[in-house]
Amino acid sequence: MRSLIKSLALIAAVLAGPAAARDASWPDGGPHAAAGGIRALGPPAPAVPRRVVCLGPSMTDIVVALGHADRLVGVTRYDTAPEVARLPRVGGFLDPSAEAVVALRPDLVLWLTDGSAHPAVRRIAELGIPVLAFPVVSVADVLASVRAVARALGDAPAGARLAGTLEQAIARVRARAASLPRPRVLFVVGRDPLVTAGPGSYPDELLAIVGARNAVQGTIAWPVFPLERAAGLDPDLVIDAAVNEHAGSGHTPLTAIPAVRRGAVRQLTTDDALRPGPRLARALDQLFVAVHPEAARR
């Protein structure tokens, strides 16, 4: 889980740069763009693909939530959904194996874009396998990707339903938080080193929806923070999303932060808030409870 969280942070940091810079790594200027920044590589996909490989847990989550887990034939080493427990693994989203993907004979590959995986994904496309590339960084990207994946699978109505459900969840949480205090929150992503969610990150947007202010400002999306600097921010609340990273030997002790010493710290038990996809609704509910525990009990 630690490597998953750090890889998610790395992906988001890469994607935080301009789209033009990301495309520059492609010799031909980049794969052609579809709606919402989604890009198609290789030959056209069939109207109803039957063998799908996902190069990112968020993509897998979408396919499963759309009700099409039966079409999946390969996923990454980080996928934990019970629906894909028996499927072959094709590497990670930073280091997918083109050979492993091709061996599964997919008629569509869904890729959560990241610069370091370009060579492998380019090779997959060159070998005649259709690839759809999704830049999933924001809540809007999640909604766009849900609809686009559903269209690619030949089931646009399922995408409209799922996106609508997520939009309702967002609106519901926004409404609940509208009249509540907006505490300053330090969102911890990793402890070794200490990594926080900064402005422009996915958790930063989720915090705004649940009625909180990110204590980390004026920096990159996923900054590595000296502990003294984190303590100096003096946040009202610390949300510890470093799942399975507990205080102890080799880990940063969060007790140096005043809020933690006051007991104003909430430990998340899942990586939902770091996994942009259909888990959005559950992540918002978890964060609302963490930020507004008294309101959540009403």
Encode pLDDT of 63-92 as tens digits.
999 999 999 999 999 998 999 999 999 999
Q: How far, in Å, CA of 274 to CA of 289, rounded?
A: 17
Share of the chain above pLDDT 90, in %: 74
Query: Which pLDDT band holds residue 252 (cuts at 50, 70, 90)?
Result: low
Q: What is the mean pLDDT of the chain?
A: 87
Torsion over CA: 189, 203, 54, 17 (sign)? negative
3-state secondary structure of 73: strand
Instruction: Determine the Cα–Cα distance for residues 81 and 272; give it in Å rounded to an integer.
Output: 12
- In the chain, the percentage of residues whose pLDDT exceeds 70 is 84
Provide the pLDDT for residue 37.
79
DSSP state letters, 79-129:
---GGGTTSPB-B-SSSB-HHHHHHT--SEEEEE--GGGHHHHHHHHHTT-
At residue 246 the predicted structure's pLDDT band, cuts being 50, 70 and 90, is low
Average confidence (pLDDT) over 173-186: 97
Distance from C-alpha of 179 to C-alpha of 295, rounded to nearest angstrom = 11
Q: How confident is the model at residue 298 (pLDDT cuts 50, 70, 90)?
A: confident
Q: Which domains does the chain possess?
A: 17-136 (3.40.50.1980), 179-296 (3.40.50.1980)
Helix, strand, coil shares, percent, the chain, to 5: 45, 15, 40
Most confident stretch, 34-48, 114-128, 198-212: 198-212
> Cα–Cα distance between 215 and 237 in angstroms, integer?
9
Structure tokens at 222: 């996923």
Distance, in Å, from the CA atom of 171 to the CA atom of 168, rounded to the nearest integer, reads 5
- The pTM (predicted TM-score) of the whole model is 0.85
pLDDT of residue 7: 53
pLDDT at res. 116: 77
Q: Are 42 and 62 in contact (CB under 8 A)?
A: no
Instruction: Map residue 192 onto helix, strand or coil.
Output: coil
Position of tokens 């915090």?
207
Phi-psi region of 69 (alpha: psi -120 to 50; beta: other; left: phi over 0): alpha
Maximum average pLDDT range among 35-39, 213-217, 247-251:
213-217
pLDDT per residue as tens digits for the range 137-169? 899 999 999 999 999 999 999 999 999 999 999
